[in-house]
Structures are given as structure tokens and as C-alpha cells.
Structure 1
Amino acid sequence: MSDNRLGLAGKFRYLAERARRIDVKSVAERAREVHEQHGAWTPRVFADMLWSAARHDVAFQDYVDYDFAILSKEERATYMTHPVSMQLAQRFARKDKRVLFENKIEFNKLFDRFLKREWLIVEAGNADAVRAFAEKHGTFIAKVPVSHMGLGVRRYHAKDVSDWEAFHRGLIERDELLLEEVIRQHDDLAAVCPGTVNTTRITAFFDGTQVHVLAIAQKFGRGAVSDQMSYGGFYTMLHDDGRAFGAGYDSHGHVHEKHPDTGFPIAEFRLPLIDEVLAFIDEVARVVPEVPYVGWDVVVTPDGPVLVEGNWGAGVYENKPSVTGIRTGHKPRYKAAIKF
């Protein structure tokens, strides 16, 4: 591994780009949001957000989401942020290997043995194969090969299709070229939200010898095809033994003591088969050593964990102090493993 310190030139380029794209109105709206949540003086929050972004690589939404207005300087320093995460991702992910994570078809080909479900590529002339796949599984998932934030994902039911040639043609026109069998999740996950396959995001770093688990977040959906926030989903952080930190939350100011649809108390959740999950991540994180820093999405099934996808731009899931009562984040774990 090369020198792990974040390069100053790269950091300055990143900051310059952020300064060029700054939306003052958006920052002011977030400052007012912080005032409403914590009673902090809006002008002071506005100035602090700008200073935190420029000096400490804190995204404006990070400032809101992680309650920086109520944290001390020392407590803030324990939080991982999106700008720092992206700098790490760009530094460590070899460019010619990123496509293996960006394109879902390429990802499925490489990680097939970890998916543990059937999948099919939609292409010209295989309408009969699409029909056979759909009728075998009944309900199935269609994905656009390159998409973000859970977008470009649809759930279909074979019983709703009457013209398979037209359906096949529509899949190609919409670029929904990857079909997958629906994952059957563990009963403990279905008890929280049965209508969505609820994924666990495990951010990990492979140093060439050891796989370091940096943070674990449990995402919950609202019955839609995806558990991402763009579909109404939310998350809670997990301890290393699978216990939830506390209630769930999202980046839209919503806090969920209980799941809105099932009433399940989020703080009582515990991820099943956690030892198997961690062993699974130790294996998958070694497959592409040229991309060592990855946010892995897995689902625990009755038979163990299965892989959904890997994100070379790992993103950040962090603890929210006003919800959990815990006033520290995961950055020390990142620094201990990556040494930046």
C-alpha cells in the first residue's frame, strides 16, 4: 500500500470544487433547520457550517445529520464525513477497477458466488428466457446496470405480464437489463419491514492483510422495492455484536422510535447471524484488493448473508447524538485502519 495520508493537492482541488458549487440559499435553509432542532442562533450556525466545511471537511448535510451544533470540538472530531470518505475512495480505488462496482452486471459476474440467487441479463432475442425466469420466480427485480441511491430498480410480477415480447422490449428501452431473484430475508428482518428487503451496510477497509470493519448500519424500508432514503427508508447504526445504537433516522429530519408500518421498536433490533456476516465480509472484501475501501450491502437470509452490491464510493452512515444519546462517531476506527 502506498502512503495513506490524504494528499494536500487532492484536498485543495476538492475544496475548490465545493466552493465553486456552494449554494448559499441551501446552507441558510440548513442553518434554519439546525436552529429549529437545537435552538442555536441561525447566523452563528451558518458561519460555523461554512468554517466546518472549509477547515474540517464537514459536508453541510453532515453538520445537520450528526448534530454538530450540540457537539464539542473534540466530539465533532470523532465523526466521519462524506468529503473525507470521498477523498479516501478516490485515493484508494484504482480507476480501472471501479467499473466492477459501478456496473451491476459486471459486479454480478465477479461476485456471483456471493449473491446466492439467480439472475439474468436481458438482451436482444431472449424474450423467452426472460419469461421463463419471471414465471419461475413469480416476483422479480429489474435493475438498470449503472445507477445510484437505489434508483433504476423496479419490482415486477409475472402474473401482470400478458405480452412477453412487449415486456422484453420495454425492459431494453428502459435499460433494465439485469433481472434478479427476490431475496428472502431472515424472519428477524421481516419482522421490522416485510415488504422491503432490508440491507445491512458494512463499510470496510482491506489493508492487504486484514479486513477492518469500520462501521455497520442497518437500513429499513417502507415497503418499496428499495430501503434507500429516496424510497422513504431510514437507518440505525449497529454495534459490532449487531445491537442497534437506538432509534432510526434519516437525512430529512425524521426520527423513528418504532417502524412506522409495523410498530417494531428499532432500538430493540439485533442483526441475526452477526458472526457469519462479519466472516462473509472478510471474504468478499479480499476479492478486488485494488479497491480496498468499500461500502458493502448485504442481506441476512435464513441460510446466512448474501451480497447485494459494493460501493467503491462508500458514503457515510453515522451515529446521531440527539437520537441515541451517544456523542461520538466512527472516525477513530477509520483512522486506526487506514491511517490518514
Structure 2
Amino acid sequence: MSRLSLAPRIRYLLGRARRIDVGSVVDRAKEASEQHHKAVPAIVVDMLWSAARHNVGFQDYIDYDFAMLTRAERETFMTHPVSNQLSQRYDHPDYRWIFQDKVEFDKQFSPFLKREWLVVEEGNADAVRELTQRLGTIVTKEPVGQAGTGVHRYHAADIEDWDDFHRGLLARGELLIEEVIRQHDALAAVCPGTVNTTRITAFFDGEKAHILAMAQKFGRGAVSDQMTFGGFYTMLDENGHSVGAGYDSHGHVHETHPDSGYRIADFQLPYMDEVRAFIDEVARVVPQVQYVGWDIVVSPDGPVLVEGNWGAGVYENKPSVTGIRTGHKPRYREVIGF
């Protein structure tokens, strides 16, 4: 029997019903119709039924090719509504703010960042200048942001007036400065201009952290590898090897990286044993938040932590790209027991 309460699901569905954009649903249905050669009205009905009855988000339906899957195959896929229910149940409300505030997160998880960082405050322009000049390039972050928003990159050589630079950071709310992570050559071979992060969704049961799914994100040279910056991802198997080509939520499929030409299906994440141990360590820092999407980067010396997301979201297999017609939900059920 499911251990997930009906209340979060009902609240989610009511919220979706109030916000539903019929035009957007039809546009998505047309996209699926063109790809899978099914009638638009039938897909619209199927999307609405799947949302109401089976906890499938409209974008989930498109991203995971539900129009081409059987009912049994669909049941193996994690979806955003189900992930949201897990977050509401297993991530204690009193501790979520630690993951929402990037400054507080860096304080709590400092030993796992393995890089320098500094909070921008009134009166510390000299400290900002010293750190930036010493590092050469820095990344700044707004304390609250998601999907790569509020992340910026600056080069010391481009800054002429340091007091003005400091005032600008304060005015724009870019209050966290971090050293740029040096990534492993295996990641740099795919995209050297972006620090390419690995999303590892995990559940801490009080004794051990269990990895539920892994996705490798790749950027296009921008400061972030998020889709808003042109990034995409590929799912990794339990040994850290890509299961196929890369893709995003905008219909783009990448057999090879558009800039480097690297074949995405050939990618292997280094240091997998160390990655597993690392996730188990970081999951113990705030054990009250059990279900987390951890973003890490594998450096030449092993994994380093970028951030944790208490609203873990979903990264899943795309059947039309990989040829694999099942998802990760059985693994989630095995570990969490819902």
C-alpha cells in the first residue's frame, strides 16, 4: 500500500487545475502527435487522464514519450507530481531553508565544497578584490535561485573599478562568490567551457544513502549547464556510464556534443566508487532532509559538492532516444517503499 498521503496529491492537482493553460496542453499534444503519429484530440485526452489519474505532469508526458508507451511501461517512470509528494513527505519543512539559501548551504556543507568561497558584505570590497585577483575567474550566485538563474561568471582582468564592482554585486544581490571548480578531464573532453554537473537523486533512510537515479548534464560553454543556458543531459546507469544520446525538454537530441563532437553515449563518469561514498557522506549532514537531488562535479581528485535540492525534481530516460522503454520508478519504490 502506498505510504504517500493523498493530501499533497490533491493540493497539487487542484493547483494544476487552477493554473492549467489549455493552449500549452494543445501545443504539447501537437508536438507528441507529430513525433508519434497519433491524433491530437486523443493525445489531449490521454494527457489530461494521465495527469488526473496517474500523477503525470504534462511535460513529463512529452519528455518521456508516453504517447509511444504501454500502460505497464508508463508505470515504471518517475514523474514530477510523484517526486513532489516524496519531497513533501520526506524533506522536513524546518530544514528545507538550508538547501534553498545558497549561503547557508555553503556554511553547512563547507567541507564538501573543496573550493574557496566568500560572502559579499558591506565593507569587504578589499576581500572581494583579493580573492578575485588571486583566482582569476570567479562565479557569483544570488542566495535564492534555481535552474541556473542568478549565477554569473567574472574575470578579474575585465574589472577596472573594484569598489564599483563590489557595489554592483551588493545591488544585484550576488552575495556569494565561489572559486570555479576544476573538472575531471573526462568531463572537460565533452565541454571544457562549462563545469558539467552530475545530478544524483538519492534517499537517506537514516542509515544509508541510496542512489535512485543519475543524470549527467552538459553545458554549451556558458556559466551553467542548465537547459536555460542551452544545456542537456543523458541518464547514467548504476556504474556511471551513459545509456545513450543527450536530450533536453525542447525536443533537441544530441548524439554528439554540438561543440566538441564528443559522442555522448561513450561517456563514463570517473570515480564512481568515490561518488557513491561521497553521496552517503553528504546525506548525513542534514538527515532530516532525506530525499535530495545532489549536484556534484567530479574533479581530478574526486567528487565535489555544488548544491543540494530538497525538491529533487526528475531526470528520466527518454525512450525515443535511448530505445529503453522503462524508467526508474521501480528503484524508487524498492528503496522508499511507496
SS at match of 1:259: coil
| Alignment of structure 1 residues 118-197 onto 2, 5 Å | 118-197=116-195
TM-score, with normalisation over the residues of structure 2? Answer: 0.99
Question: Is the contact between residue 4 and residue 338 of structure 1 (CA under 8 Å) also seen in structure 2?
Answer: no
Counterpart of 1:309 (choices 288, 304, 307) is: 307
2:260 corresponds in structure 1 to 262
SS at match of 1:192: coil
Q: Which consecutive segments of 4 or more residues in structure 1 shift more than 2 A?
A: none
What is the one-letter code of the residue matched to 1:326?
A: I
Distance 1:150 1:230 in 2: 7
Q: Deviations over 1:120-173 (max 9, x none)?
A: 000000000000000010000000000011100000000111110000000000
What is the one-letter code of the residue matched to 2:263?
A: P
Distance 1:93 1:281 in 2: 17
Report how many residues are paired: 338
What is the one-letter code of the residue matched to 1:137?
A: L
What is the one-letter code of the residue matched to 1:238?
A: L
2:109 corresponds in structure 1 to 111
Distance 2:265 2:149 in 1: 28
Percent identity over paired residues: 69
What is the one-letter code of the residue matched to 2:322?
A: T
Question: Quick check: 204-213 or 105-114, which moved more?
Answer: 204-213
SS at match of 2:314: coil
| Alignment of structure 1 residues 219-258 onto 2, 5 Å | 219-258=217-256
The offset of 1:210, in angstroms, is: 1.9
1:278 corresponds in structure 2 to 276
Question: Quick check: 91-100 or 74-83, which moved more?
Answer: 91-100
Structure 2: unaligned runs, 5 residues or longer:
none
The offset of 1:238, in angstroms, is: 0.2
What is the one-letter code of the residue matched to 1:236?
A: T
Counterpart of 1:293 (choices 264, 271, 291) is: 291
2:29 corresponds in structure 1 to 31
Counterpart of 1:82 (choices 75, 80, 83) is: 80
The offset of 1:9, in angstroms, is: 2.0
The offset of 1:4, in angstroms, is: 7.2
RMSD value, Cα: 0.9
Question: Is the contact between residue 295 and residue 313 of structure 1 (CA under 8 Å) also seen in structure 2?
Answer: yes
Distance 2:96 2:6 in 1: 23
What is the one-letter code of the residue matched to 1:196?
A: T
SS at match of 1:307: strand
1:330 corresponds in structure 2 to 328
SS at match of 2:24: helix
